[in-house]
Every structure is written in C-alpha cells, then in structure tokens.
Amino acid sequence: MSVGTYLREAREASGYSVEQISAKTRLRATLIRDIESDNFYSCGGNAYARGHIRTIGQLVNADMDRLIAEFELTTGEEDRPMIDLLTENSATGPAAKHNLPHLSYKFMATSAAVVVGLMILVPTANSMFKSTVKPAHKISTVNPSAKEPVPANQAGTTVTRKQQSAVAAVPTAGNLVFSADSGTTWIAVTDAHGKNLFTGKISLGQTQSFDASQLLNVTLGNSGAVTVNLDGKSLGSPGALGEVKYLQYGPGSASVSTTIAG
C-alpha cells in the first residue's frame, strides 16, 4: 500500500475530513490531497514531505515506522548519502568539484595536527607579547564588567546548552527558544501564511530558536520533552511526554493549545 493511500485510509478511519486535518495541522488542503495522491512535489522537497507526513500520520494514529519506511522506499532515499538529501532540500549548496591530487590519510592527519598546533600557539604567543607591553597612557574608562551584546539567533538555528546560556542572558524581542531537556522531539514551525520555517528533530541537549516577532504556528511531537523560553522568560514544558501539541506564539497567538495524546 502506498504512502498516500495509507494516509487517506487512516484519516477516513479516524473520522477526519481533509479540511479538518488542514485546520488542525495548518497545512493547505491542496497539499494534503497531493500527499494522499503520492504527489510530494508541492511539498518543496522530500525532507519537508517527510515532516508533513509525520504531522498527519501522528494525528490519525498511523503506524509511523511503517509510514516513513514506505516513504523512503518510494522516494529511494534510504541508500542516498545525507549530503545529497541536504542539497536537494536547499539546506546546503552542491559540493564543488576540484581537480586536486589524491592525498593520503597520513598527509591529511599531519596537516590537521599542524593547523591545530598553530591555532593553540599563535593566540598564546600573542597574549605573551601583549603582557610585556605597557600602555603609554589611559585612553578611556570602560567598565571592565561590561559584556558585548549577544546577537539574537536567527530562526531555525540549533545551538548547544552552552550557547543557550548566552542567548538567555541578553533576550531580544520575539526570541523563542525550545530546549530538549527530557528527550528527543519532532518539531514543525510555520508562519501565519503557512510557510514552512522549520521541520525536523531536536535531540536531547539541543535547542532550536525562532523569531517570534511574527505569528508562529508550532507542532511538537513530544511536547513533554522540551521547555519553552520566550524573551528570556521560561514558560516551562507545554505538555507531557508523548503528547502532540499544536501551539501559537507571537502577535495574535491563541490563548489555548490543541493536545493529542500520543
């Protein structure tokens, strides 16, 4: 059974119409019909198509392992290298081709060691040189405790826990951060017009930030695994482990969220 046929039968068995699925997932009804017809072109790439299939499949209680396995078998992605998938979905440009001579692993390892050594020695030597030079006069009085402002993360940028502390220290208007503190979750984010801003996975220990100065529609596959931080203020976890949540943040956001038990 094809991916589209399975999704359509699961949707009908759950008692949902295409329009109801569209309202709950904020995906266009025409896009849902295309997917049910095994037409993934309008999704904008197989990575986006896979994310939409997960969103719909979780809503209609489909067998996700079977669904994704069938999708990868249909699209032939299970044997493709990751760099090809990223290039196809505009996550990175195509690899440049260079006519370089073959380099041995031993040569590359030696070169890497030299580069690392220079990275360590140059700052150290520079620091020692500066310590031996005394300034002729005091140019200005600057508060030594002042810190450079931390630039706001752009939407869809994954940062580590160490980087997250820097973001939280200087919150900017509309800075929305999801932190995977209790496990891995799947997340999809669209703007008020239904444009996909991010679809993917946040693993344990990672964060994902977005610009919430605009209205954001957020779907969390495992809402209890994450905590939410908006403009430096913790909003806690939006749900329980295994719960699927449909949330809104930013100007004009709804005051309640939709919950579907996982």
Average pLDDT over residues 213-240: 91
Q: Which residue has the higher pLDDT, 260 or 251?
A: 251
Does the pLDDT at position 148 exceed 50? Answer: no
Domain map (residue ranges) of the chain? 3-88, 157-260
Rounded to two decimals, what is the model's pTM? 0.37
Query: CB burial class (10 A; 0-12, 13-18, 19+) of residue 197?
Result: middle
Each residue's pLDDT tens digit, 66-104: 888 888 888 775 444 444 444 444 444 444 444 444 445
End-to-end CA distance of the chain: 24
Question: pLDDT at position 104, please?
Answer: 52
Q: Which amino acid is present at 174? A: G
The hierarchical CATH code for the domain 157-260 is: 2.60.40
β-pairing, 226-230 vs 233-236, is antiparallel
CA dist 199 and 219 (Å) reads 9
Q: Which residue has the higher pLDDT, 229 or 86?
A: 229
**Number of helices (H) and strands (E), helices first, in the chain?**
8, 10
| Fold category of 3-88 in CATH | 434 Repressor (Amino-terminal Domain) (1.10.260)
β-pairing, 175-180 vs 226-230, is antiparallel
Q: Fold identical between 3-88 and 157-260?
A: no
